[in-house]
Chains A and B, each alone.
Chain A
């Protein structure tokens, strides 16, 4: 088996990528559906797969970067050059398939269709190289894929899709020329021996490592040791004094000591940051920007109540901790319970305050007109204040159950997010029973799972 084949096997051997494929297929399906539903020339309906090559370029370039960063691969014969072959193999296959869509482009004869398909192939290559270039240029580029929907919607809003499609169809020779030249440049660049040296032994977060706590922790440790690390924040003296003082009010065997200790480890750093003027001001400013942005989002504005639940998923409960302090399983249970209740209450209060602030703003914020479309500011619906209270225990329940399977955890949380968002979009029936029953149920479920995990499951390592 040659080295290229071994590397290409990554494409199906890494199970985390299967989820990515599902999303890519979904995007590709949307792209194809848009093309065939109402085939019209010059409307930008055919470039879905061409533009998707950018995301594929990022994702596919991350895989060989991960291989390059393993010191042994630098020494293995042929491995330094396989990056180029790997990236080009995928580029040819993906963009060939993407360009086939243009064979159904309306209003062109046979040879024109072939020419346009070649042009689309080249355009796909250009987007693909941009993705590859981004992946090799910036640290942890996978995270930037999260901005992709905004780029799509933003580009669509400003009509970039039409511009690109017209360039592909109207100026095929130019696009082909640029595609060939860029491919030659990328071929030379990827063959440069300095590239392998640059990545050899350099730690980083891979395309699917953002959910791997152990890898992320190790990466943070390495990063924190660097001089350029700017995240050297730690609790302020007053925060430390406050929490340690509260802990010392309780007896050494009292649960209160552990609860305050848990609150300190959970909120110490956030409180320290908020107590600094600069940080506090930035927080208020960001909240205002967020309110303004959400206010103009139409029905999607109430995402305000769902977002905290997603963000909370990154918070770690003091349950699966191998750092032994004198607290037992019972202390872990009570500490985690208090922490989640405190978090849920704080988040609900904060979200409600922001929603309340948006009420008077609705009267003063002007309508904004962009490219003929008018956007009006709408206040957030305060009646949805209960959503964090409902969502947070479910998020933590999922986290407790799938602690060692972060991909499953994130997928479930995303599904819940989409379900709530979809439901909210189509209007919720607000009545007390509708609110109270699921909230109570979610808390009962969470407490039962938490109790079970704390008392009956292994708390570190294999679970």
Chain B
């Protein structure tokens, strides 16, 4: 349990857009130093939740507090501590890249020019180009630079890697890992590319239809879900396998693959001993966990 005061608190937050309930009774606390993966299908309410945190949306019911201030009342003092990469990709098209960087940096007292130069060089951003002429991938790189250039305490990344190619995505993940090394830096990352997200997050929030289905540390989550591969050493597998909480079971030719939920690894190993089989227990990738949580 993290005893530090949360930097974001959402209590019973509801938001409607016409007949659609975009957020439904959301309770969420985000503590400093966490890297949170916000996962969910399109329309699950991820972007809506993120926009509430920075006060771009106003809740219909409940309350959202960021850095101790009601999100709707956030001012330069609090917003100067938040970096945000958004889906829309809105930038000032008519400026050159260098001009846009200079313009945005003027709003932040702690703009890190060394980081900016390094990022520009590493990501091969052409500073003389006009923003409007950048490709989607280049725009996204620029948006990320603008969001991290002032080393925000809270970095919100809404689908940050969607427009990046695999190489740029790998670099971006390296960059995130560097950012994470700074103490008490908090990152909320919403993405569909779960294989990327799981490399960096230490906490997962899974959403569906405006509700939070799961809010757990990533380690706990990986502990909760396991995959058990069983191969019979001679003959057939027993008709009844001695495992509890089996979510999914697939059997074929003396082999079985089980997905097990809420069963500690020690217990699984103990249960496996009773079988005259070769048993392998492995943790599930985030994508599999996500599918199980959402389908249940």
Question: In the complex, A229→B130 CA distance in Å?
Answer: 11
A327 proximal to B (CB < 8 A): yes
Q: Quick one: closest B residue to A252, CB to CB?
A: B109
Q: Is A26 an interface residue (CB 8 A)?
A: no
Contact B130 A234 (CB under 8 A): yes
A224 at interface, CB cutoff 8 A: yes
Question: Could you tell me if B109 and A233 are in contact, using CB atoms closer than 8 angstroms?
Answer: no
Within the complex, the shortest CB–CB distance from B19 to chain A, in Å, comes to 12
**Contact between B94 and A269, CB atoms less than 8 A apart:** yes
Does B6 interact with chain A (Cβ within 8 Å)?
Answer: no
Contacting pair A461 B79 (CB below 8 A): no
Q: Roughly how many angstroms separate A35 CA and B124 CA in the complex, as a whole number?
A: 67
B residues in contact with A264, CB < 8 Å: 103
Q: Which residues of A contact B47 (CB under 8 A)?
A: 461
Whether the Cβ atoms of B103 and A326 lie closer than 8 Å is no
Q: Does B217 contact A (CB under 8 A)?
A: no
CB-CB under 8 A from B80, the residues of chain A are 252-253, 326
> Contact mask A373-387 → B, CB, 8 Å, 1/0?
000000000000000
| Complex CA–CA separation, A72 to B86 (angstroms) | 28
A221 at interface by CB-CB < 8 Å: yes
Contacts of B96 in A (CB 8 A): 234
B127 CB to nearest A CB, Å: 12
**Given A224-B130, A323-B90, A324-B54, A240–B102 Cβ distance below 8 Å?**
yes
Contact partner of B51 (CB less than 8 A), chosen from A269, A330, A460, is: A460
Is there an interface contact between A221 and B108, defined as CB atoms closer than 8 Å? no
**Known pairs A224-B132, A240-B102, A461-B51; A456 contacts B58 (CB<8 A):** yes
Report the minimal beta-carbon distance from A339 to chain B, rounded to whole angstroms: 15
> Which single member of A220, A321, A328 contacts B90 (CB below 8 Å)?
A321
Check B88 for interface membership: any CB of A closer than 8 A: yes
A224→B93 contact, CB < 8 A: yes
Interface flag for B56 (CB, 8 Å): yes
- In the complex, whether B290 has a CB less than 8 A from a CB of chain A is no
A325 to B58, CA, bound (A): 18
User: Is B84 at the interface (CB under 8 A from chain A)?
Assistant: yes
Contact with A along B72-99 (1 / 0, CB 8 A): 1111111110111010101111111001
Quick one: closest B residue to A232, CB to CB? Answer: B130
Cβ-defined partner of B75 (8 Å) among A265, A331, A461: A331
Contact (Cβ within 8 A) B107 A261: yes
In the complex, chain A residues whose CB is within 8 Å of the CB of B58: 456-458
A257 within 8 A of B: yes
Is residue B104 within 8 Å, beta carbon to beta carbon, of the partner chain?
yes
Docked complex Cα distance between A225 and B83 (Å): 27
* Across-interface contacts of A257 in B (CB, < 8 A): 76, 106-107
**A248 touches B (CB below 8 Å):** yes
Contact B102 A326 (CB under 8 A): no
Interchain pairs with CB closer than 8 A, number: 119
Nearest-neighbor residue (CB-CB) of A243 within chain B: B103
Range, interface on chain A? 35 or more
Given contacts A252-B109, A324-B79, A460-B51, whether A244 and B92 have CB atoms under 8 Å apart is: no
Question: Which of chain A's residues 256-270 have a Cβ closer than 8 Å to chain B?
Answer: 257-258, 261, 264-265, 268-269
User: In this assembly, does A235 line the interface, its C-beta being within 8 Å of a C-beta of chain B?
Assistant: yes
B86 to nearest A CB, angstroms? Answer: 5
Whether the Cβ atoms of A261 and B103 lie closer than 8 Å is: yes
Please give, as numbers and ranges, the residues of chain A lying within 8 Å of B54 by CB-CB distance.
324
B55 at the interface (CB under 8 A from A): yes
Q: Which residues of A contact B135 (CB under 8 A)?
A: 225
Contacts of A458 in B (CB 8 A): 51, 56-58
The answer on a CB contact under 8 Å between A244 and B72 is: no
Minimum CB–CB distance from B48 to chain A (whole Å) comes to 8
Identify B55's interface contact among A221, A247, A258, A329, CB under 8 A.
A329
Residue of B nearest to A324 (CB): B84
Q: Is A137 an interface residue (CB 8 A)?
A: no
Instruction: Report whether A224 and B104 are in contact in the complex, using a CB–CB cutoff of 8 Å.
Output: no
Specify which of A221, A247, A325, A460 is in contact with B56 (CB 8 Å cutoff).
Answer: A460
In the complex, what residues of B have CB within 8 A of residue A244's CB? Answer: 102-103, 106
The proximity string for B residues 34-75 relative to A, scoring 1 for CB distances below 8 Å and 0 otherwise, is 000000000000011001001111100000000000001111
Q: In the complex the two chains form, is B106's CB within 8 Å of A326's CB?
A: no
Q: How far is the CA of A155 from the CA of B192 in the complex (A)?
A: 58
Decide if B216 is an interface residue (CB 8 Å cutoff). Answer: no
A5 within 8 A of B: no
A13 interfacial contact with B, CB 8 Å: no
Q: Which residue of B lies closest to A331 (CB)?
A: B76
Q: How far is the CB of B190 from chain A (nearest CB, A)?
A: 14
Partner of A328, one of B75, B93, B109: B75
Q: Which of chain B's residues have a CB closer than 8 A to the CB of A110?
A: none
Answer yes or no: A462 CB below 8 A from chain B CBs.
yes
- Interface positions, chain A 423-463, Cβ under 8 Å from B, are 455-462
Interface pair A235/B107, CB less than 8 Å apart: no
Contact code string A214-237 (vs B, CB < 8 Å = 1, else 0):
000100110011000100111100
CA distance A326 to B147 in the complex (A): 11
Quick check: is A322 within 8 A (CB to CB) of the other chain? yes
Q: How far is the CB of B268 from chain A (nearest CB, A)?
A: 45
Given the interface pairs A234-B99, A235-B95, A253-B75, the reply to whether A327 lies near B133 with Cβ below 8 Å is: no
In A137-184, the 8 Å CB interface with B consists of none
Shortest CB-to-CB span from B32 to chain A, Å, is: 19
On whether the beta carbons of B99 and A232 are closer than 8 Å, the reply is: no
Q: Which residues of B contact A269 (CB under 8 A)?
A: 94
Of the candidates B84, B93, B103, which one forms a contact with A220 in the assembled complex, judged by CB atoms under 8 Å apart? B93
Least CB distance, B197 to chain A, in whole angstroms = 22
**Are A234 and B94 in contact (CB-based, < 8 A)?**
yes
**C-alpha gap A234/B88 in the complex (Å):** 22
| A462 vs B76: C-alpha distance when bound (angstroms) | 24
Q: List the B side residues contacting A456 at CB < 8 Å.
A: 58
**A318-353 interface bits toward B, Cβ cutoff 8 Å, 1 = contact, 0 = none:** 000111111111110000000000000000000000
Q: Could you list 14 further interchain pairs (A-B, Cβ under 8 angstroms) beyond the known A224-B132, A326-B107?
A: A221-B132, A225-B135, A240-B99, A244-B106, A258-B107, A265-B92, A265-B103, A268-B95, A323-B92, A324-B83, A325-B104, A326-B80, A327-B107, A329-B73
12 CB < 8 A contacts A-B: A220-B93, A229-B133, A232-B133, A234-B94, A244-B106, A322-B90, A323-B90, A324-B56, A326-B76, A327-B79, A331-B75, A462-B22
Minimum-distance CB pairs A-B, first 4 = A224-B132, A326-B80, A324-B84, A326-B79
